[in-house]
Amino acid sequence: MSTNPSTNSVRRDEAKHGPGPIGAVGAPNGGGSAPAASPEFPAAVESARRQFSRLKLLIGGAWVDGGEGAAEDLLDPATGEPLGKVPHACTADLQRALAAAQDGFAVWSRTPAIERRRVLMRAAALIRERQESIACMLTLEQGKPLAEARGEVAGAAEIFEWYAEETRRLYGRVIPARNNTTQQLVVQQPVGPVAAFTPWNFPALTPARKIAGALAAGCSCIIKPAEETPGTAIELARACMDAGLPAGVLNMVFGVPSEISEFLIRAPQIRKITFTGSIAVGKHLAALAAQHGLKRCTMELGGHAPVLVFDDASVEQAAQACAAFKFRNAGQVCIAPSRFYVQRGAYERFVEVFTRTAAALRLGAGTDASTTMGPLANDRRLAAMAGFVEDAAARGGRVLTGGARAEGPGFFWQPTVLAELLDEAKAMREETFGPVAPIARFDTLEEALLRANSLPYGLAAYAFSSSAATMMALSAGLEAGMVGINSFAVSLAEAPFGGIKESGYGSEGGVEGLGAYLVTKFVAQASL
């Protein structure tokens, strides 16, 4: 596709970020090279397309239309054409969902952990069985290449499996008493009904983290996935219901994000909030949670991950890996490497290889087997990409490849590399959340750490070096909740996922993610 600058307006900043499964140095899981097409491939896509005619709300175990008939168009980002209608929940729907979640919690919190494990494992098995159809839906509504979508769905199944196994390990402990007539126990119990809010960029993985974590702990859940990508989340919920989850334990609603989030957070039934999205919205929701019952929160917010590449690194390998992960999902990844600092001796070689790798990506619909980078999720991000490029040019930066919207239908932006940037450039200060990669030079380790830590973000950070001393200094010195050194493997089911500073608080994944849905109770029991 050739160039055509765009001035489309920026999307609403409701909820935009989400984690994805990332492997070690090399191509992203499920992506990089184009997938081989099978004879069933076109049929699977068309079958998935038909699924968008049955988008529903899930309330109290029943799939229903919105009570007042309100709905919005769901668009294919590769064409801009409608895929279906997303039903909106009305106030009565939300009230029924709250009542269902309260009743569901009463049942599920008393369900033995071994039974919760069985349901979660069965849901994981169903997600794997339905991987191709779910992946096709994901690609159609979100835009990423089908190979990436398959990897994401497999990752969602793995999250359900991991949390299922962790139900066996919801341990308490005994504290030695001060006399022989007292028993002192510490027990963990589910916090209560959960309100979960997820974004559009990873419509399988992010809902999976929240749903599986809540269910494993014994909580019920009302989840509001992104209206841009409802189909994938609906299929995860179908798998849970088909696995035998009791009615009311999981409920799913759509609508105007601000209205639904405020209604649910204010409701006394809700005891826990989990949100993935922008910093501004996260702060607003956290304030609401504090005002209405001091409710517990997990906030996974924005990031602008620095990458430090040192002279002693394997520069070519680092450049190829950085480009592969930067442009995965068209750069719409909260933990994507997104601002690059390269030591002076490695700079020219890194820029050359990185730019060549970016320029070789093939833009197209995710359902095209030859596509290696899909569209942005909606047209409102195109103006933001143009703004980054225009600001860089005004500050003396160079556009080495890309720099414009791709011609034709859909929401495509060319993979863009910006070089010779100053730290004042907008792309170095603000999260690009798209296929724009800014690159700058540095000289010393101390300088690199200072610049990497200079922003209020603290979600992920990466570095490439062969020096043990440098790696140790980076591990200690980088201010981020997740640090990858010679690796991008920071998003795993068994590892905590979360940020510091304005990138949020709390963790999803790992034992920390399960703990986020539990409360600790101390019991001192004396004999009379």
Q: How confident is the model at residue 40 (pLDDT cuts 50, 70, 90)?
A: low
- Residue of 388, 338, 256 whose CA lies nearest to 503: 338
DSSP three-state, residue 286: helix
Range 505-528 average pLDDT: 95
Would you say residue 303 has pLDDT above 50?
Answer: yes
Residue 241: DSSP 8-state: H
Model confidence pLDDT, tens digit, residues 440-476: 999 999 999 999 999 999 999 999 999 999 999 999 9
Q: How confident is the model at residue 41 (pLDDT cuts 50, 70, 90)?
A: low
Would you say residue 1 has pLDDT above 50?
Answer: no
Higher pLDDT, 22 or 227: 227
Range 389-415 average pLDDT: 96
User: Quick one: pLDDT at residue 24?
Assistant: 35
Model confidence pLDDT, tens digit, residues 470-504: 999 999 999 999 999 999 999 999 999 999 999 99
User: Quick one: pLDDT at residue 44?
Assistant: 84
Would you say residue 31 has pLDDT above 90?
Answer: no
Active-site residue among 148, 300, 430, 479? 300
Residue 468 carries which side chain, given as an amino acid letter? A
Q: What is the CA radius of gyration of the chain?
A: 23
User: Quick one: pLDDT at residue 331?
Assistant: 97
Across the chain, what does the average pLDDT equal?
Answer: 92
Model confidence pLDDT, tens digit, residues 425-447: 999 999 999 999 999 999 999 99
- Residue of 257, 134, 260, 271 whose CA lies nearest to 199: 257
Residues 289-296: contacts with CB under 8 Å, at least 24 apart: 289/265, 292/265, 292/266, 292/268, 293/268, 295/265, 295/270, 295/271, 296/191, 296/271, 296/272, 296/516
User: Quick one: pLDDT at residue 4?
Assistant: 34
Q: What are the distances in angstroms from CA 435 to CA 38, 225, 406?
A: 29, 24, 12
Q: Is 300 a catalytic residue?
A: yes
Would you say residue 234 has pLDDT above 70?
Answer: yes
Range 108-130 average pLDDT: 98
Active-site residue among 334, 431, 502, 508? 334
Beta-carbon contacts of residue 523 (< 8 Å; ≥ 6 apart): 183, 184, 185, 186, 187
Q: Is 169 left (phi over 0), alpha (psi -120 to 50) or beta?
A: alpha
Q: How confident is the model at residue 43 (pLDDT cuts 50, 70, 90)?
A: confident
Query: What is the helix (H) or strand (E) element at residue 59, kind and residue range?
Result: strand 57-59
User: Quick one: pLDDT at residue 378?
Assistant: 84
Domains parsed from the chain with CATH numbers = 41-300 (3.40.605.10), 305-502 (3.40.309.10)
Would you say residue 388 has pLDDT above 70?
Answer: yes
Range 376-396 average pLDDT: 94
Token pair recorded at residue 444: 């010393």
Would you say residue 29 has pLDDT above 50?
Answer: no
Nearest-angstrom CA–CA distance, 526 and 88: 53
User: Quick one: pLDDT at residue 273?
Assistant: 98
Model confidence pLDDT, tens digit, residues 140-182: 999 999 999 999 999 999 999 999 999 999 999 999 999 999 9
Per cent of the chain over pLDDT 70 is: 92
Nearest-angstrom CA–CA distance, 335 and 315: 21
Residue 30: DSSP 8-state: T
